[in-house]
Amino acid sequence: MPEVTAPIALMVDVNSGRVLYERQSHRRFVPASLTKIMTSYVAFELIAQGKLKLNQRFRMRPETFRQWNRVGSTMFLGNNSETSVADLLEGIVTVSANDGCVVLAEGIAGTVPAFTAMMNAEAKNLGLKDTHYNTPNGWMDEGATYVSAADLATLSSALITRHPDLYHRFYGHERAEFNGIQQNNHNPLYGHTEGADGVKTGFTNEAGYGLVGTVTRNGRRLMMVVGGYDRANDRAQQSRAFIEWGFAAWDSKPLFPAGAHIGEAQVQGGRERSIGLVAPHALALTLPKGANARATIAIRYKGPLKAPVVKGEPVATLVVRVPGQPDELLPLQAAETVARGGLYSRLRNGVLAMLGQ
């Protein structure tokens, strides 16, 4: 285990959900630009729902320009300029553009408070218990915006697994150019760590230096969160060593590939009486290096599920047990959408259930 002096540290194997290391992972802290992970997540959700398009253009209002022109990290948006959602997301994710965050927020929701309400609603949907957003860009707000390492790992995992195409389009870029100005991404893993493709850095005087970093090798994804460094160089050197330790000290044993059909769940009040359960991403068992044990698996859900059930919605858990190791709890998604049934469907399903069919 290398030296990690950050007051907050967490490493998770995304394929198994196993925590490989943690230090104060539920402690609330100020995220700075790590806030922008949720900003992009809200946009990705809206795009997936057809409520936002990448070619939509949003205007930089004069009031917003006066407040955010060249404040902190920026993509140098001009007064009254119009910028596409795609370019705003590139600026937010790659160069941490504070001005781009506010233009996107106002374009989507009308006002920053309305957008942060959407951010907090998504945090609730994801079960984030130690998170609250007051800004879309993480600019200093006397602690009104806060997160935890555990919540950031959950959010970032959802960002990657729910929206893989959008994630790979906008994340993992070492630099970006906008309006003829090229800027580098500050992620210390890029250019140094094989397989690094995200997620986000953060820094303010209030927060110190933080990082949510993720690396994929041979289909295995590790994610780490470190927060509260006083020096950028410590964050860079230690985070690189930390993620290498994760790959070296732990083995991953594949269980199911992404999209694999794993079981069924009963549905109540729907047009169909059951629904398939699939793996949202490659699922694996993580054990200390050299360990070898037999695993047993079981599916757990609160059932029957109540219609409507939406395709891709997390509705069940795969419980993986190995003697002497903590249980692994892996998410399973609905394989298809089951709409609420009409009167005939409900009567038919009720009769079949009474007959034990």
- The tens digit of pLDDT for each residue in 282-295 reads 999 999 998 887 89
For residue range 181-192, list pLDDT tens digits in order.
999 999 999 999
Q: Is residue 277 within 8 Å of residue 334, measured between CB atoms?
A: yes
For residue range 286-336, list pLDDT tens digits in order.
999 988 878 999 999 998 999 999 998 899 999 999 998 899 999 999 999
Number of domains in the chain: 2
Structural domain includes residue 83: yes
Q: What is the mean pLDDT of residues 161-168?
A: 95
Confirm whether 274 is a catalytic residue.
no
**pLDDT more than 70, % of the chain:** 96
* Distances, alpha carbon 130 to alpha carbons 6, 40, 139, 283, in Å: 19, 19, 18, 26
Q: What is the mean pLDDT of residues 330-357?
A: 74
User: Is pLDDT at 94 greater than 90 in this prediction?
Assistant: yes
- Candidates 235, 150, 139; CA nearest to 189 is 235
Q: What is the mean pLDDT of residues 248-272?
A: 94
Tell me which residue range forms the domain holding 295. 257-354
The one catalytic residue among 16, 25, 73, 96 = 96
Q: Is residue 33 within 8 Å of residue 73, measured between CB atoms?
A: yes
For residue 218, count other CB atoms closer than 10 A to its CB: 8
- 164 and 285: one domain? no
- 209 and 345: one domain? no
- 70 and 175: one domain? yes
| Region class of 269: left (phi > 0), else alpha (psi between -120 and 50), else beta | left
- 40 and 90: one domain? yes
- 222 and 350: one domain? no
- What is the pLDDT at residue 350? 62
CB-based contacts of 17, cutoff 8 Å, min separation 6: 328, 329, 330, 331
Which of the listed residues 189, 220, 250 is the one where a domain comes to its end?
250
CB-based contacts of 33, cutoff 8 Å, min separation 6: 73, 96, 137, 138, 200, 201, 202, 203, 204
- What is the pLDDT at residue 349? 60
Confirm whether 40 is a catalytic residue.
no
For residue range 204-232, list pLDDT tens digits in order.
998 999 999 999 999 999 999 999 999 99
- 172 and 290: one domain? no
The one catalytic residue among 16, 36, 157, 252 = 36
Which of the listed residues 250, 280, 310 is the one where a domain comes to its end?
250
Structural domain includes residue 3: no
Confirm whether 36 is a catalytic residue.
yes
- 215 and 276: one domain? no
- Alpha carbon of residue 49 to chain centroid: 17
The one catalytic residue among 16, 25, 33, 252 = 33
CATH number at residue 307: 2.60.410.10
CATH number at residue 221: 3.40.710.10
Question: What average pLDDT is seen over the chain?
Answer: 94
Structural domain includes residue 37: yes
Structural domain includes residue 180: yes
- 122 and 228: one domain? yes
Sign of CA dihedral 193, 250, 150, 50: positive
* Distances, alpha carbon 33 to alpha carbons 41, 51, 122, 147, 280, in Å: 14, 25, 18, 11, 27
For residue range 9-66, list pLDDT tens digits in order.
999 999 999 999 999 999 999 999 999 999 999 999 999 999 999 999 999 999 999 9
